[in-house]
Amino acid sequence: MRLHTLTVQAFGPFAGTEEVDFDRLSAGGLFLIHGPTGAGKTTVLDAVCFALYGNVPGARGKDRSPKSDHAPLDAEPRVVLEFTVQGRRIWIERKPRWDRPKKRGTGTVSQNTKVVVKEFTGGRWEGVTTRPDEAGQFVGDLLGLTLAQFCQTVMLPQGDFARFLRAKSEERRESLERIFNTRLFRDVETWLGAHAKRLEHEVRTANAQVRAVADRIAEVGGSRAPEPPEELSAWAAELACVTAATARDAGRVAGEFTGAREEAQRALSEGRELRALQERLAAARGRRAQLAEHTAWRAALDAQLDDAGRAESVLPFLRARDNRRTELDKAELAVADHLALVGGLPGFSARSDGAVPREELGAAERERRDELARLDALRADAERRRSLGRSVTALTGRLDEIAAQLDRQRALAASLPARVEALTAELRRLHDQAGQEGAAETALAAARRRLDAAAEYERLGRELSEAQERHREAVDGAQAARDRALDLRERRITHMAAELASGLVDGEPCAVCGSVAHPSPARPSGEGLVSAEEERRAQAAADAAASRRAEAESAAVALRERRTAARERAEDATADAARQEVEAHTAALAEARAAAGEARRVEEELERTTGDLERARTREGELVRQEAQVGADRDNAVREHGRLTALLDRARGDDAGLDERIARLGGEADLLRAAAEAAVNRDRAADELRAAVAEAERQRAEARFADEAGVWEAALDEERRRALRERARSFDDALAAVEASLADPELTAAGELPVPDLEELARAARTASEAADRAVAWRSMLEERARRLASLRGELDLRLRDCEPALRRYAVAEGLRGLTAGTSSDNADNVRLSAYVLAARLEQVVAAANDRLVTMSDGRYELRYTVDKAAGDGRARSAGGLGMRVVDAWTGVERDPATLSGGETFFSSLALALGLGDVASAEAGGADIDTLFVDEGFGTLDEDTLEEVLDVLDRLRDGGRAVGVVSHVADLRQRVSARLKVVKTAAGSRVEHTG
């Protein structure tokens, strides 16, 4: 990678636009960047980093925006870098995040980071990307370096490498890890440690599970478990076998006791059965004697049931005869009732002998039915007459309503023409007045704009007075802060020697000359020393005051411009005059709009009135026609109603009306028919009674009863007969059961045997049962114990087998963990894996550094890598592994790097930095670095050593490499012709090229 040009604008201490021509500076291979402290030498390197990576190294990258405080508020910060890498010409422009002033009003607007990347191809610049994330990926792929690696390999900060040279192993490891990517190896160490802990936990868990099963076996078997795990399996097997054998013996004993219990139970059961048979035999004999005493009673039951059966066959006929007699009585009563009802009807008279005149009843009914048929045909005429009566009433009312409406319409048609003429005249007047609305609106809008502008002019006048006062105060404050900062800077420069002398310690080298003797250190005079912190705070206060002054000035200018614009918009009118003008135009506009609204209302009313007039005239003609038609309809209805009334009066006779006559004749016809039917029913009931009497007498004779009283005396109801039959059947069943029992051979045989002693048999059975229960319980307990021991033995063997793979895995994992952590005896040097990898890189760095250190030290010093612990590396076995010693060829003694003098430390750390840069670049696989920067540290070298160091830097130019030295040492300006001077001023820094 070779840098060509760098352009910075409003960046860091650079207020304007500054350009650095690296092609010009690198032409001789070695160039110097110099300038006073704080001028911005390091900012040049920061600008290169910012252009490439969008950030600056170290704590400076975490500070606020890199926009210059010296630049105008609206100056846009930017960095442009042009360089060549791997044969590709690249142009990058980056703009950091910053806050620009608002274009209108006060305050700021945040501007986001921007980037433009171009590549020179085909004779012109082609855009690559404008996205920050893509730009970062593009640069990383080209260079193969992160920002941290770039700063270690391209920009060599000597202070960092001096600390690296003297550092402890752990601190040196942290530095190397920032450069070389060894996170993978540390992750391996961490993972192996965690993995070993997990497997250790698994082993402990498995052992706990084995011991838990062994404890359960000991609890079940009543035996103590051995401590060594390897003896557990044999112990469990022996205990299970012994328990199983004992259970088998207990089973045989339990079988014998169970047989004895069954034999005793059998004897008791047989004794109980014999006693029951003997008791049944005695009971049967006693029951037979009881039944023999009731033989006559049994025969009487049969005779009574036979009489009841014969009477039951006659009773239905007697009951039927009685029912027929009752029906005849009812029919006689019905005939008498009906004859009484029809006796007084016109055209019919009852006979004096009480006989029923059936023919006369029929003739009277037919006469009435015929007249009903004629009257029914007149029902439609009656309904039509009623309808015509309602129509006449309705039509008369309608004629009265039409006459009233016709009077109203004629009055309305006469009054509306005058109203139409008045509304037409009013509408013309309102249209003329409403036509002024547009002009009134335009005039009002213009008056309101002048009023707003006049009010803004007065308000901005007050704000401008306040802003001018703030500006005067800010100017005074900024001047006072600047005077104090310049005064403190002068005093500090005046006493700089005394400030350096205040840090001298007897026996320790001077930071300027390197001498350990301090015969005449400078002393402060006058007002005393000014510290760098005091100067920094004063300068910060001056910068803040200058910013406030600029902000106050910008605010005042903006207010003045806004006030002038407001006066122009107000057309020099005052707020009071403009307000009066607005009120006058507002009133005129209101009057015009009111006239327009009133015109719309009058126009609508005129339209309604005109329509009403037309509708009134039309409605008047319609009502005249309706009046004539309704009158004709009413006259026709009156004539038809009179004709139907005369017809119906003739038909109703003496009755109140046609419906009443029809109802009377229908009722009389129904009474005549009912009387004839009652006479028929009476004759039929008499015939049925005679037949029922004859049949009842015949049935009584066949049943062998002397008279009807004997039938009723022998008759029994069904419930009584059922009870007698049940008593007879019960007696017969009891007698048959007794005879069957006495004939049973088993009872007969039992009667011949002696009576058994049941109490003795029960006592023997209980004794045998209790003994058998105890034997069976003992056997069950032993069998359950043997079963559980067999199950637990299998579980124990399974747990023991499961432990073996976990133990093997833990042994492997613990061995690897100890090996990579440096705590295992197999790791002779006690070096962690990550330290071992870094040690290999450190060996390469030391070898590359020695190529230059031998020359710089005139062959005296050489660095040596060692795995031994350095002082302060701690007591841990894995500490160390990244040690470094200095071999002094003149004395043959190895020394701690901390014993080197200031100058020796500088060129040793420089050699180390160059070597580290070479190795890191090769490790990252990035592009060749053709431009290097070495930052500070040359002030600690004597003249000869400085010459040797510069010779080494000169040799870096081999192959086209350029080296830039960043220093404020004056001797370097005489030795290096190509120089970039950074000039510091109160208005900001600038750069100047020399050579």
Residue 871's pLDDT is what? 44
- Cα-flanking dihedrals φ and ψ of residue 909, to 5°? -70, -30
Answer yes or no: are the C-beta atoms of 158 and 913 closer than 8 Å: yes
222-227 average pLDDT score: 80
Residue 531, C-beta contacts closer than 8 angstroms, at least 6 positions apart: 492, 499
Instruction: Judge residue 790's burial from the number of C-beta atoms within 10 Å of its C-beta, 0-12 exposed, 13-18 middle, 19 or more buried.
Output: middle
At residue 21, does pLDDT exceed 90?
yes
Q: Are strands 931-935 and 155-157 parallel, antiparallel or unpaired?
A: parallel
Task: Find residue 11's DSSP bridge partners.
Answer: 14, 67
Helix (H) or strand (E) holding 732: helix 718-742
| Calpha distance 463→555 (Å, rounded) | 10
Residue 9's pLDDT is what? 95
Residue 629's pLDDT is what? 86
Highest average pLDDT, of 296-310, 349-363, 765-779, comes from 765-779
615-641 average pLDDT score: 84
Task: Find residue 98's DSSP bridge partners.
Answer: 111
The residue assigned the tokens 């259970």 is 247
Distances (CA, A) of 580 to 461, 574, 586, 667: 22, 10, 10, 105
Residue 878's pLDDT is what? 44
Secondary structure of 98-134 in HEC code, one letter for each residue: EEEECCCCCCEEEECCEEEEEEEECCEEEEEECCHHH
Give the type of residue at 57: P
| Calpha distance 136→53 (Å, rounded) | 6
Hey, what are 320's tokens? 């039927």
Secondary structure class of 21 (helix, strand, coil): strand
Q: Would the pTM count as exceeding 0.75?
A: no
At residue 354, does pLDDT exceed 60?
no
Calculate the CA 8 to chain-centre distance: 51
| Calpha distance 852→120 (Å, rounded) | 37
Distances (CA, A) of 452 to 465, 582, 586, 587: 20, 11, 15, 19
492-521 average pLDDT score: 60
| Calpha distance 865→196 (Å, rounded) | 32
Taking the CA atoms of residue 577, residue 583, residue 588 and residue 592 in that order, the dihedral angle to the nearest 10 degrees is 140
Residue 93's pLDDT is what? 96
Fold of 2-144+930-994: Rossmann fold (3.40.50)
316-334 average pLDDT score: 84
Higher pLDDT pick, 978 / 853:
978
Residue 419, C-beta contacts closer than 8 angstroms, at least 6 positions apart: 609
- Quickly state the pLDDT bin for 740 (edges 50, 70, 90): confident
604-613 average pLDDT score: 84
Exposed e or buried b per residue across 839-862, where buried means at least 16 C-beta atoms within 10 angstroms of its C-beta: bebbebbbebbbebbbbbbeeebb
- Model confidence pLDDT, tens digit, residues 661-686: 778 778 777 777 887 788 788 888 88
What region does 594 belong to: left with phi over 0, alpha with psi -120 to 50, or beta? alpha
Domain ranges of the chain: 2-144+930-994, 412-614
601-623 average pLDDT score: 83
Hey, what are 288's tokens? 């037979």
| 57-63-69 Cα angle (round to 5) | 110
Hey, what are 911's tokens? 């050699």
Q: Considering only 343-357, 466-480, 850-864, which range has the smallest mean pLDDT?
A: 343-357
CB atoms within 10 A of CB 522: 14
| Calpha distance 173→160 (Å, rounded) | 14
| Calpha distance 652→664 (Å, rounded) | 11
| 744-745-751 Cα angle (round to 5) | 100
Hey, what are 285's tokens? 């004999």
Highest average pLDDT, of 228-232, 340-344, 413-417, comes from 413-417
Secondary structure of 456-474 in HEC code, one letter for each residue: HHHHHHHHHHHHHHHHHHH
CB atoms within 10 A of CB 14: 25
- Cα-flanking dihedrals φ and ψ of residue 172, to 5°? -65, -35
Residue 519's pLDDT is what? 63
> Strand order of the sheet with strand 883-888?
861-866, 883-888, 893-895
- Model confidence pLDDT, tens digit, residues 689-732: 888 888 888 888 888 878 878 878 878 877 888 888 788 888 88
At residue 453, does pLDDT exceed 60?
yes
Residue 504's pLDDT is what? 64
Percent of the chain with pLDDT over 70: 86
Distances (CA, A) of 373 to 208, 369, 521, 649, 956: 119, 6, 162, 17, 149
| Calpha distance 966→40 (Å, rounded) | 11
| Calpha distance 148→530 (Å, rounded) | 35
| Calpha distance 738→365 (Å, rounded) | 82
**H helical segments located in 822-962:** 833-856, 902-924, 943-955
Calculate the CA 283 to chain-centre distance: 89
- Cα-flanking dihedrals φ and ψ of residue 84, to 5°? -125, 130
Q: Which has the closest alpha carbon to 211: 186, 194, 228, 189?
A: 228
Answer yes or no: are the C-beta atoms of 80 and 96 closer than 8 Å: no
CB atoms within 10 A of CB 682: 20
When the pLDDT of each residue in the chain is averaged and rounded to a whole number, the result is 79
- Model confidence pLDDT, tens digit, residues 226-266: 877 777 778 878 878 887 888 788 788 888 888 888 888 88
Residue 571, C-beta contacts closer than 8 angstroms, at least 6 positions apart: 450, 453
305-320 average pLDDT score: 81
| 751-754-756 Cα angle (round to 5) | 115
- Quickly state the pLDDT bin for 191 (edges 50, 70, 90): confident
776-797 average pLDDT score: 82
| Calpha distance 304→714 (Å, rounded) | 8
Answer yes or no: are the C-beta atoms of 497 and 514 closer than 8 Å: no
Residue 115's pLDDT is what? 93
344-371 average pLDDT score: 69
Residue 777, C-beta contacts closer than 8 angstroms, at least 6 positions apart: none
- Cα-flanking dihedrals φ and ψ of residue 622, to 5°? -65, -40
| Calpha distance 683→686 (Å, rounded) | 5
Residue 592's pLDDT is what? 81
| Calpha distance 550→324 (Å, rounded) | 141
Highest average pLDDT, of 503-517, 899-913, 972-986, comes from 972-986
